[in-house]
A = this chain, B = another copy of it.
Amino acid sequence: MKKLGVAILGLGVVGSGTYKILTENKEYFKVKEGLDITVESVLEINKARIEALGIEKSKVAKNIEEVVSNRNVDVVVEVMGGVTFAKDFVLSALSSGKTVVTSNKELVAKYWPELEQTAKKKNVGFFYEASSVGGVPVIRTLIESMQGNHITSISGIINGTTNYILTQMTDNGWSYEDALKEAQKLGFAEANPTADVEGFDATYKISILSSLAFNKKISIENIYREGITNLKEKDIKFAKKLGYVIKILGIGKDTKNGIEVRVHPTLVKNDSALANVKGSFNAVKIEGDSVGEITLTGRGAGSMPTASAVVSDVIFAGKHSEFYYQPFNVEKQKPVKYVKDFTSKYFVRLESKLNNSEVNKLEKIFGKKIVINKIVKEESEKLDIVILTELASEKQMLKALDKIKALKDLTVENLIRVED
């Protein structure tokens, strides 16, 4: 039987989950996969974590050199996070002829070409299913199940923390602040929630997913990013009134004019599949020219779901001896289209004092190029005005908003994009 030695760098939530699955299922994997998998080495500075898992001392490496020089190690699993050490360690492992499996989205999004070149030089594997949308097998689906397609779009709910927060705001009427606090209490959000709530995490993931979908390296600098920190209860309320739910989506589209990739709060129809993906669940919709629309739903984060994806890569690497690298220049490289150029429907929320005659100027300001589909007005101490537009250019929309901002008694409270 083929032996497969594994090293795990980092025994945090994903690392411990991976260790547990690999050790508890040793016999199952022998019979089912024909692989005798052993965790040969771990690297972790927190001794309590090592003890909690009952790992024998002989398997605890002192440093990365000890791991990568270990002849029994075939696959190095990097689940430390961050990029400083992780990058060095992964390069070191690849250079030593070890296949690498990583869950590190930031690492892949930022240093993918360099890492793959090293892997290619050494003819070893570089796998990263766990880096995007945790246990949901989106990457394997893109690479091994949709080969007969040109993919035209990939979009979805790819961050569980923000989806949890938005679900609480939508279904239970919580404020952003209260929902964030609860998410932190439940361990869904970090003490410093910036990476999630400002959309960085989703940006790394959509960078990876759209690069795979469109066969081009789409770097994070070319992705429009907007988080959920500016969303107010009134946005949720008026969206609901209009038959929509607000989700933060990662969106990648391959259009005639180029590729556009963005992360931002988005109104989706309340009977759509994405609207009903709640709490910490994730969902990704992929459009291919042969297969049409495929949607994958599941847990995008958490110890065991992410470890499930890591183990899937370990076993895949153990069973298939040919390794492939992403050919990021399949078609003539198209320019990445920036957000200012794209086209969208919009939800615009304004506030004005009551009986403000400036309100009558709105239609003229939007002009002929931005067609208003619906307008809702509601009076309380102030006048709330919510406008839903037809497809319009982002550039023209921002221009119109500048004009509105110049009006004296009318304020622009929010601008949110709409995907029907």
Residues of chain A at the chain B interface (Cβ within 8 Å)? 17, 21-22, 25, 28-29, 31-34, 129, 135-137, 140-141, 144-150, 215, 271, 273, 276, 288, 290-299, 304-305, 307-312, 315-316, 319-322, 324, 327, 329-330
Contacts and interface: CB of A to CB of B under 8 A. Distances in A.
Contact of A327 (B31, B305, B308): B31
Contacts of A312: 144-148
24 contacts: A17-B290, A21-B290, A31-B327, A32-B327, A135-B291, A136-B294, A137-B145, A137-B146, A140-B144, A141-B145, A144-B144, A144-B316, A147-B315, A273-B297, A288-B308, A290-B311, A291-B304, A291-B309, A292-B304, A292-B305, A294-B298, A295-B295, A297-B297, A321-B321
The secondary structure that dominates the A interface is: mixed
Given A146-B308, A312-B144, A330-B31, A294 B291 contact: no
A148 B19 CA distance: 11
Query: Lowest 6 CB-CB distances: which A-B pairs, in order?
Result: A148-B311, A137-B145, A135-B291, A290-B308, A291-B308, A294-B298
A57 B87 CA distance: 56
Contacts of A321: 321-322
Q: Which of A149, A288, A311, A319 has the most CB of B within 10 A?
A: A149
A28 B330 contact: yes
B34 A324 contact: yes
B298 A291 contact: yes
A315 B148 CA distance: 8
Given A21-B148, A291-B308, 5 more contacts: A137-B145, A146-B308, A148-B308, A271-B276, A296-B297
A298 to B, nearest CB: 4
Nearest to A304: B290
Contacts of A294: 135-137, 296-298
